[in-house]
Structures are given as structure tokens and as C-alpha cells.
Amino acid sequence: MTVPAFGLGTFRLKDDVVRRVVADALELGYRAIDTAQGYDNEGEIGEVLSQSGVPREQVYLTTKIKPAHYRRQTLLDSLRESLEKLRVEQVDLTLIHWPVPKGEVRPEEYLAALAEARELGLTRNLGVSNFNIAGLKQAREVLGGVPIATNQVEIHPYLQNRTLVDFAHREGIHLTSYMTLAVGKVMNDEVLGDIARAHGATPAQVALAWALRQGHSVIPSSTKRENLASNLKAQTLELTDEEMARIGGLEQGETARIANPESARPDWD
């Protein structure tokens, strides 16, 4: 199953907030939900999904294995626990959340364990998150013929990750952009605002349309129902080549990186 182009991110959403947001998103037509063991909200999401009335087969559900669970048996056990919390027999996609290059568990072990989880039917697809080019090459070697459904990475107008993007496009590796709105920074950007006014859109819609135009999937989040609805409209916003180039000029490089935990990050490309 291809990773949906548009989904709901649930990072930092907990308790009643995540319950309300997921319920609103499903009512508005979202059919892909992204969570992680480290978000501590799988149980609430599972509760809402089970009560929503939306058939399970219509929702593309993604979770991520957190680094503390990278040992083979722990990974398998933790994914089974995630399934219980989410109230499903299988997730559509499971990702390795961070490569943790200096950790005790090597990629050969946790990637092989993730492939085993796929063979056991715990997840339909597998992928990675926050992997650099070297990590992607190693993952392909370890996984052999098992396809990498996506590499989920931070991509927004100020951190465009061009070296990684170019490699992924050449190699046919799909990318999912997270923090596409740069934690709200795009809302006050003059260039994005100007482009938005030309289309009768919002800067958030422009940033999302920019990522979608490149072939990335996006998983924006909001605690406001009106923003959830507004974000969906980015799927029909068509930017010109000139507008794409203007957004390209917003690149700030590594100084704009938001998610960068020292213990888990790779050497960024």
C-alpha cells in the first residue's frame, strides 16, 4: 500500500486533546494517522478509532518504534503492545523512529527485527525516520528485497534537505515531510504570505502544497478544527514554477533544523 500523500500528525498531542483532534480529523475526512510509541498517545488514538465508525481498512495507521525498544524481542513485543493500544491486529506502517548511531543496538538488529515484524503480520509495511543517505544505503543492504515504504524526515521551506531529497528521488525512496509548517513559523513569512494572497489561500496551505508538489507525503497537525479543515485544501492548491522557486529561496540550511536530539541523530547530509 502506497503511503498516503496527506495525513494527520499527532506529535505532542495527548489525553483529551488528541482524542478531540483525531475525532475531528476523521469527521473532516482524514484517512491517515501518524503516531509513535514515544508520543504516548496510541491508547487514546485507538479508543477514538474504535468508536469512530470509520472502517479499519479505510484508515492508514502509522506508528514508530522508540529507541528503547530496538532489541529484537523487545521490538516485537513493543509493537504487539502498540497494536493492543491502537486496538488493531496490524498497523499499515511501522518506522524506526531514530537511527541512534551511537546506541548499543546496531541497525542490523533493529532493521532485521522490523522485517521480522512484517513477516509475522504485525505491520503491512516498514520504513525509517530521520535516516541520512548512509543510513538509507545500509538499511537497503540489511533489508534486501524488503521495500522501504518511506523515510520520514524534517522538511520545510527553511530546511529543504536537498541533498537527501535528490538522493531519495534518484533511488525511488519515498519521503514523508514532518514539521512542514516549521512549528508555525510559515504563518508569518512574507514570501509565503504573498503567494498565499495570490491564491486566496493561507501560508500553511502554501507550505504544504510546496511539499506535496515535490512528491512528499505530509502529516500536519493542529489542535483547531478549522485549521485541520484548512490544511486539507492544500491538496488542490497548484503552485507555479516561479512560486516554487521563490519558496526554494527561503532555505536556511542546518540553522533551521528543529528536531535534532544529540543522542539519536545521524550526521545530517
Residue written as cell 507555479? Answer: 240
pLDDT computed for residue 111 by the predictor: 98
Whether 109 and 146 have beta carbons less than 8 Å apart is answered as no
Whole-number Cα distances in Å, 4 to 1, 153, 169: 9, 15, 17
Catalytic residue (choose from 30, 39, 110, 158): 39
Q: pLDDT band at residue 1, thresholds of 50, 70 and 90? A: low
Please indicate, yes or no, if residue 147 is contained in any of the structural domains. yes
Whether 117 and 76 have beta carbons less than 8 Å apart is answered as yes
Helix (H) or strand (E) holding 119: helix 107-119
Global pTM exceeds 0.85:
yes
Whole-number Cα distances in Å, 149 to 29, 185, 213: 23, 29, 19
Please indicate, yes or no, if residue 33 is contained in any of the structural domains. yes
Q: Are strands 91-96 and 123-129 parallel, antiparallel or unpaired?
A: parallel
Condensed to tens digits (0 to 9), the pLDDT of residues 51-69 reads 999 999 999 999 999 999 9
Condensed to tens digits (0 to 9), the pLDDT of residues 245-265 reads 999 999 999 999 999 999 999
Could you list the residue range(s) of the whole structural domain that residue 61 is in? 8-154
Condensed to tens digits (0 to 9), the pLDDT of residues 96-148 reads 999 999 999 999 999 999 999 999 999 999 999 999 999 999 999 999 999 99
SS3 labels along 139-187: HHHHHCCCCEEEEEEECECCECCHHHHHHHHHHCCCEEEECCCHHHHHH
Domains: count for the chain:
1
CA neighbours closer than 13 Å in the CB half-sphere of residue 93: 26
Please indicate, yes or no, if residue 184 is contained in any of the structural domains. no
Please indicate, yes or no, if residue 81 is contained in any of the structural domains. yes
* CATH code of the domain covering residue 135: 3.20.20.100
Region 33-51 average pLDDT: 98
Please indicate, yes or no, if residue 255 is contained in any of the structural domains. no
156 annotated as belonging to a binding site for a ligand: no
Please indicate, yes or no, if residue 3 is contained in any of the structural domains. no
Residue 6 DSSP class: B
Alpha helices in 14-67, H assignment, sequence order: 15-28, 42-52
CA distance 236 to 56: 26
- Spatial CA neighbour of 37 closest among 47, 29, 45, 27: 45
Please indicate, yes or no, if residue 18 is contained in any of the structural domains. yes
User: Would residue 39 show up in a list of annotated catalytic residues for this protein?
Assistant: yes
Condensed to tens digits (0 to 9), the pLDDT of residues 210-246 reads 999 999 999 999 999 999 999 999 999 999 999 999 9
Please indicate, yes or no, if residue 41 is contained in any of the structural domains. yes
